[in-house]
């Protein structure tokens, strides 16, 4: 499927009857480059991530902030422990889960951030094309590692030097961890409720685990695959 034709729909049906619906296109480059009605906290220089390679001459607003603005503001009155029925429609299938708001929002924000025009998060774009809502920690580790090794296969095909030690993956997630943490500081000002803050804190924890404890956690998955040798 062509990227610019792909979209994912998230619907949150809250226990109080409130319904939040988001249609997120995979390719949002035009909206990000020319944002309409963007809040001041989305400007690039506002709490800009310490490892951001963008400059104000080329980009006036933070791509993630522009993409996430409506989502963050709509969750202002919703607490992370509020429960919801979350329905996700992808081009291939539908998913549904009764869970706390944080779980659904983490899944939605993960997709939005990975498909944003943020150059630091660009390494996640291919993985986001095969988005898996509500992924567990083990599923995230499996998907992230498999995606990285697929990249190494393509590098090998092109005659490049491959990285089977996953050192490059760990470094990628050091950078992603920085973005998650710094973006959290940005939205502290924009969000009055704790849902979006909890989500960014969780994403920060996951990126920290991958960058510093990847080998340990992959070791726990090893028995599932060694019988294939």
How big is the CA angle at 222 (ends 216 and 227), to the nearest 5 degrees? 170
How big is the CA angle at 55 (ends 51 and 57), to the nearest 5 degrees? 175
The reported pLDDT for the residue numbered 213 is: 84
The reported pLDDT for the residue numbered 212 is: 78
**52-64 residue pLDDT tens:** 999 988 889 999 9
Mean pLDDT of the chain: 86
Distances (CA, A) of 167 to 122, 151, 211, 226: 18, 13, 9, 22
Has residue 67 got a pLDDT over 50? Answer: yes
Distance between CA atoms of residues 25 and 18, nearest Å: 23
Mean pLDDT of 7-19: 93
What residues does 19 pair with on adjacent strands? 13
Q: How confident is the model at residue 228 (pLDDT cuts 50, 70, 90)?
A: low
More confident residue, 16 or 32: 16
More confident residue, 69 or 9: 9
More confident residue, 151 or 3: 151
Pick from 98, 94, 218: which is nearest to 149 by CA? 218
Distance between CA atoms of residues 198 and 79, nearest Å: 9
**174-214 residue pLDDT tens:** 999 899 889 888 887 766 655 565 666 777 677 777 877 88
**H-helix segments, the chain:** 29-33, 63-74, 101-114, 125-128, 137-157, 167-190, 195-225
Has residue 165 got a pLDDT over 90? Answer: yes
- State phi, psi for 180 to the nearest 5 degrees: -60, -45
210's CB contacts (< 8 A; 6+ apart) are 140, 141, 144, 169, 170, 173
The reported pLDDT for the residue numbered 5 is: 62
Encoded tokens for 217? 């956690």
- Ramachandran region, residue 2 (left: φ > 0; alpha: ψ -120 to 50; beta: rest): beta
Share of the chain above pLDDT 90, in %: 53
Mean pLDDT of 97-112: 91
The reported pLDDT for the residue numbered 113 is: 92
DSSP 3: G
Radius of gyration (C-alpha) of the chain in whole angstroms: 18
* Sheet architecture: strand order including 7-14: 19-25, 7-14, 83-89, 94-100
The reported pLDDT for the residue numbered 23 is: 94
């Amino acid at each position: 499927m062509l990227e610019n034709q792909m979209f994912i729909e998230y619907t949150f049906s809250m226990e109080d009857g409130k319904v939040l619906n988001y249609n997120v296109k995979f390719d949002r480059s035009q909206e990000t480059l020319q944002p309409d009605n963007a809040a001041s906290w989305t400007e690039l220089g506002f709490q800009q991530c310490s490892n951001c390679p963008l400059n104000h001459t080329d980009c006036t607003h933070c791509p993630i902030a522009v993409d996430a603005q409506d989502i963050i503001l709509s969750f202002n009155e919703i607490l992370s422990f509020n429960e919801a029925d979350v329905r996700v429609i992808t081009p291939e299938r539908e998913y549904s889960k009764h869970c706390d708001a944080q779980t659904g929002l983490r899944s939605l924000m993960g997709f939005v951030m990975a498909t944003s025009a943020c150059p630091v998060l660009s390494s996640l774009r291919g993985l986001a094309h095969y988005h898996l809502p509500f992924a567990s920690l083990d599923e995230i580790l499996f998907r992230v590692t498999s995606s990285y090794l697929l990249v190494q296969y393509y590098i090998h095909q092109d005659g490049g030097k491959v990285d089977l030690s996953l050192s490059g993956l760990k470094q990628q997630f050091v950078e992603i961890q920085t973005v998650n943490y710094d973006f959290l500081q940005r939205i502290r000002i924009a969000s009055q409720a704790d849902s979006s803050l909890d989500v960014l804190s969780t994403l920060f924890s996951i990126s920290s685990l991958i960058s510093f404890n990847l080998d340990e956690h992959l070791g726990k998955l090893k028995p599932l695959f060694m019988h294939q040798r």
